[in-house]
Structures are given as C-alpha cells and as structure tokens.
Amino acid sequence: MNKMNDDFILSNGYKIPCVGFGTWQTPDGDTAVSSVKAALRFGYKHIDTAAVYGNEKSVGTGIAESKVSREELFVTSKVWNKDRGYEKTIAAFNKTLSDLGLDYLDLYLIHWPANSKQFTNWDEINLETWRAMTKLYKEGKIRAIGVSNFLPHHLKSLMKTEIPPMVNQIEFHPGQMQNETVDYCKKHNMLVEAWSPLGTGRMLSNDTLKEIAAKYNKSVAQLCIRWCLQNEVLPLPKSVTPSRIKENTEIFDFVISDEDMSLINSMDYCGGSGMNPDEVKF
C-alpha cells in the first residue's frame, strides 16, 4: 500500500481503500460534518460509521458537501444489536441508507454477535440477521457484507452459508492483536479491519511505541496505523481534529522494520477496551 486510495481486495473482488476514517465517538452535528469534510479533503476515500454512533445524518451531510463523486467513495455502516433478525435488519438498513442520503452502501456489517450470555439461540439469531444481509447484497444495495466483533466460534455457522462474510472489524492495536481471530479470518479469506487502531488514544502514551516512532521521525499514531497495514489489517483511525486527520494519512513514507514489527507484535496485552464479545451485555 503506497497511498490512501490503494485498495485491499475483498473475497468477492470488490475493492476497499486501505485506510478508513473512523467516526465512533464523533459527536453528531457540526463536528461530524466538518471532520468528514476534512478527511475527504486530506485524501481519505473510505468512511466508517454505524447506526449506533448516532451521527449518520451528519456523516451523510459531510459526504454530500464534499462533492466527492460517489463511485470514488467507500462507505460502511453497521446494524445495531437491537435490530438483529431478518425484518428488523432490513428496516435498519433502509433507515441507515436514508440517514446517510445514499442509494447504496459499500459495506454493511453486523455490529456485534448475539452471544450465549444473552441468548440460548444466539447462533440462530446471527444467521437470521445474516440472511437479511445476504438478501440486501444480492439485490445490489450493498456491495460487500461482513461482521464486527465476531470471534471464530461466532463465525463458524456463517462460513457455511451461501455468501460468507467478507470482512470482520475487530478491536486491533498494539497490545490487543486478537491473533486467534485474525488467523481464522485470514485463513477464510476475510479482511480484518481495526477499530480503535490507536487504542482509542490509549496507546499514544506507550513508552515502547514512543521510542520506536521516534526512530522513524513519526508520531505514535502514525506508527500504529502503519503497523496495522504491515500486518495486512485495515486501520480505521478516528479524529475530529483536522491536523491529526491529516497526520494520520502521512504513513506511506516509511517502513517499519521486521525487527520493530516483531517487537510491537509481541507486546503484552495493554490498552484494550476490555469489551469481550462473549461477555458484553448490550
């Protein structure tokens, strides 16, 4: 990957720009509008949002006001947990599309798996939600479909369906690599996307990372984003600050050495959100 609009190729052949702009915790209204506009101005081609972020209308306004042609853009959203199941997923998708002011999505994800702590029939629920995703995909309303926060045992049944997930978006940053899930996804031709590639900012004060970043004359944020790409994971850094939004695109003029990659890859668990998909109560 050499620039923001270089692509990963999904299992169905669809192209996905290699860095996405995250919008989790971006306040709705002017902040969301202006940060999306800044991202598109600084070269992002890929915006990641979700119904539960509560900012889809503003994200859509930012996209519209940027006047970037729709074909050049890649837009992802996610179906929230209260909308699991066939009918509800289709209704949620239609609302998302209308809130974003778009007529198709590039990627739609199941935000979290139904888990066994909350549901005895969790697998069935995930399959029903997936049936809706598949229908929307076949109708051409979504160019690619996937999941988020799914662990291998949540993925097993979906892998046996007609159209298996193309993407799994998980928490991924130095200190939280989820190797088992990443290996499973790679083995099954599923692209892994990183939410919170900076550990929601928590990794920025890490001494090991500070030391390594300094060697390359880069910030820790740039190191973390580059590190995702070199692990073949698609980073989704979030910022509402124009200078940082720009800084986070300047990641193609250095290469992390194999030695430093190994050092970061072997860091002990740290900086994680602590949200375990098998345990969460939402």
Annotated active-site residue 269? The verdict is no
56, exposed or middle or buried, with CB in 10 Å at 0-12, 13-18, 19+?
buried
Rounded Cα distance, 153 and 147, in Å? 13
Enter the tokens of residue 156: 């097993």
164 binds ligand A2P (CB under 6 A): no
20 binds ligand A2P (CB under 6 A): no
Q: Which stretch binds ligand A2P (CB under 6 A): 45-53, 107-115, 148-156, 241-249?
A: 241-249
272 binds ligand A2P (CB under 6 A): no
249 binds ligand A2P (CB under 6 A): no
* CA dihedral (43, 169, 34, 272) positive or negative: negative
Is 153 annotated to bind a ligand? Reply is no
> In sequence order, which residues have a C-beta less than 8 Å from that of residue 212 and are 6 or more positions away?
223, 256, 260, 263, 264
Write the Ramachandran bin of 127: left for phi over 0, alpha for psi from -120 to 50, otherwise beta: alpha
Tell me the closest approach of the beta carbon of residue 243 to ligand A2P, in angstroms: 8
**Is the separation of the CB atoms in 100 and 63 below 8 Å?**
yes
Q: Given the complex with ligand A2P, which of 92 and 236 has the nearer CB atom?
A: 236
247 binds ligand A2P (CB under 6 A): yes
Q: Which stretch binds ligand A2P (CB under 6 A): 58-66, 92-100, 244-252, 267-275?
A: 244-252
Out of 49, 126, 169, 196, which residue is the one contacting ligand A2P (CB under 6 A)? 196
Out of 14, 244, 263, 267, which residue is the one contacting ligand A2P (CB under 6 A)? 244
Tell me the closest approach of the beta carbon of residue 159 to ligand A2P, in angstroms: 28
Q: Which among 44, 53, 137, 184 is annotated as catalytic?
A: 53
171 binds ligand A2P (CB under 6 A): no
Residue 194 φ/ψ, nearest 5 degrees: -105, 115
197 binds ligand A2P (CB under 6 A): yes
The single-letter DSSP state of residue 6 is -
**Is the separation of the CB atoms in 26 and 32 below 8 Å?**
yes
Out of 239, 249, 256, 271, which residue is the one contacting ligand A2P (CB under 6 A)? 239
Q: Which helix (H) or strand (E) holds 246?
A: helix 242-247
Q: Given the complex with ligand A2P, which of 89 and 249 has the nearer CB atom?
A: 249
200 binds ligand A2P (CB under 6 A): yes
Closest among 35, 232, 48 to 144, alpha carbons compared: 48
Closest among 53, 99, 46 to 78, alpha carbons compared: 53
Closest among 112, 111, 101 to 73, alpha carbons compared: 101
163 binds ligand A2P (CB under 6 A): no
Q: Which residues pair with 78 in a beta bridge?
A: 109
Tell me the closest approach of the beta carbon of residue 271 to ligand A2P, in angstroms: 9
* Residues binding ligand A2P: number (CB under 6 A): 18
Q: Which residues are annotated as a binding site for substrate?
A: 111
Q: Which residues are annotated as a binding site?
A: 111
Binding site for ligand A2P (CB under 6 A): 22, 196-201, 204, 219, 221, 237-241, 244, 247-248
Positions marked catalytic:
53
